[in-house]
Amino acid sequence: MLNFEFQNPTKIIFGKDQISKLSSEIPENAKVLMVYGGGSIKKNGVYDQVSQALKDHDVTEFGGVPANPEYAVLLEALEIIKTKDIDFILAVGGGSVIDGVKFLSGAATYEGDEPWDILAKGIRTYQGMPFGTVLTLPATGSEMNSGSVITRKETKEKRVMGGPGLFPQFSILDPQVVHSIPKRQIANGLVDSFSHVIEQYMTYPVAARLQDRIAESVMQTLIEVAPKVMEDPSDYDAASDFMWSCTMALNGLLRVGTPNDWSTHMMAHELTALYGIDHARTLAIIHPSQLRYKLDDKKEKLAQYAERVWGVSEGSLEEKAEAGIRKTEDYFHSLEMETKLSDYTDKYEKTAAIVKERFEERNWKGLGEKQNITPDDAKKIVEMSY
């Protein structure tokens, strides 16, 4: 097991009708900016619950954060924070809204002139503006980690940011919200969280037995509940397992003491930036090709995954590893998710070259758990994904 330090300060408030506890989690005298997305919270009852819980607080609302949190939109919210002396931010939404709030948290305390530098220059946030979340869409795990991904439409970029100052102070997780989520978004959440586990688990063995078992249990749970929650989102037990698995997939617990990959995410981000494809679907496009391309590096963990998660008991190490990739692809397909870029756009032919160029511009010379995925390798992986 590798050396590690681990701290996660986020308080989780999980279960039915827990949104009412908001009033006791946010300071009474706080000036709150409530941030949300396209307005679905006004249809599913969450908005009313939040409003009732904060009826005695000074609240300013900001809606309209898009599915890929857009830099220009967030700058409008940042201006409100400054002009109204906001000192607490509340994200009410899924990962995109929460990621957007993390950017606002970091940008509100950033002393530079250009907030985009936080992302472009990889500036970590050590003390951001305090914020909490009410999760409405399980998927990204952003409700219990300190990472964020922001899109800039004008330059077709999707960049990451983070730092120990970007953990939510609290996150309220009520599985009842799942009942109103469209089937497509549930599928996205299942794939997104599954992919998060793959990035931390599908590397090479380092005798981190407990982390392996936890990762495998998260994947097994997602596989088990997927058909239930897809068929009946109002199944509270299935929704609970789904929601908590998404959180556990990326709250830091799986990554400690283990090598991590994350190269698939870096490639997939470019597909979203270029074509607007749902994040989870870009992961489903890249993962099978990336795993096949790096089979020699990953075959031990792939075979272990095939055995423990999918019950593959026959074949050589390589054959089991290949079976693990096929099972993963089949799982994505079972969620009505296509796994080729050409299924989403007919303008894919130059994509690999663009990805290579962008990786070179950012000096990303060695991604992956062994830092051996070069821009040329990324180009080949994306081409395999056509």
Point out the least confidently predicted range of 36-40, 117-121, 123-127, 341-345.
Answer: 36-40
Distance of CA 150 to the CA centre of its chain: 11
Tell me the C-alpha distance between 349 and 344, whole Å. Answer: 12
Q: How many CB atoms lie within 10 A of CB 350?
A: 10
Can you tell me the distance from the alpha carbon of 149 to that of 154, in angstroms, rounded to the nearest whole number? 16
For 190-236, the DSSP string reads HHHHHHHHHHHHSS---S-HHHHHHHHHHHHHHHHHHHHHHH-TT-H
Tokens of 213: 């078992």
CA distance 246 to 266: 20
Segment 233-260 mean pLDDT: 97
pLDDT reported for residue 91: 98
Residue 201 pLDDT grade (very low, low, confident, very high; cuts 50, 70, 90): very high
Model confidence pTM above 0.85: yes
**Rg, Å, the chain Cα set:** 20
Q: What integer pLDDT is reported at residue 274 of this predicted model? A: 95
Distance CA(147)–CA(167), nearest Å, equals 8
* CA-wise closest residue to 184 among 233, 235, 238: 233
Give the burial class of 340: count Cβ atoms within 10 A of its Cβ; 0-12 exposed, 13-18 middle, 19 or more buried. Answer: middle
- How far, in Å, CA of 334 to CA of 306, rounded? 17
318: Cβ contacts below 8 Å, ≥ 6 apart: 295, 299, 303
- What is the average pLDDT value for the chain, to the nearest integer? 96
pLDDT at 53: 96
Amino acid at the residue 279: H
Residue 38: pLDDT band with limits 50, 70, 90? confident
Residues 259-318 pLDDT 10s: 999 999 999 999 999 999 999 999 999 999 999 999 999 999 999 999 999 999 999 999
- Contact, 13 vs 153, CB < 8 A? no
CB 295 within 8 A of CB 312: no
- How many percent of the chain have pLDDT more than 90? 98
User: Of the candidates 37, 182, 46, which has an alpha carbon nearest to the alpha carbon of residue 99?
Assistant: 37
Per-residue pLDDT of 88-99, as tens digits, reads 999 999 999 999
Asked if residue 190 has pLDDT above 90, the reply is yes
Spatial distance between the Cα atoms of 271 and 7, rounded to a whole number of angstroms: 32
State the pLDDT at residue 385.
97
Band (pLDDT 50/70/90 cuts) for residue 39 is confident
For 315-340, write each residue's pLDDT tens digit: 999 999 999 999 999 999 999 999 99
Q: Distances from the Cα of 142 to the Cαs of 149, 171, 172, 252, 277, in angstroms? A: 10, 10, 12, 11, 20
The answer to whether the CB of 35 falls within 8 A of the CB of 70 is: no
Helix (H) / strand (E) element for 325: namely helix 317-334
Dihedrals φ, ψ of 316, to 5°?
A: -75, 175
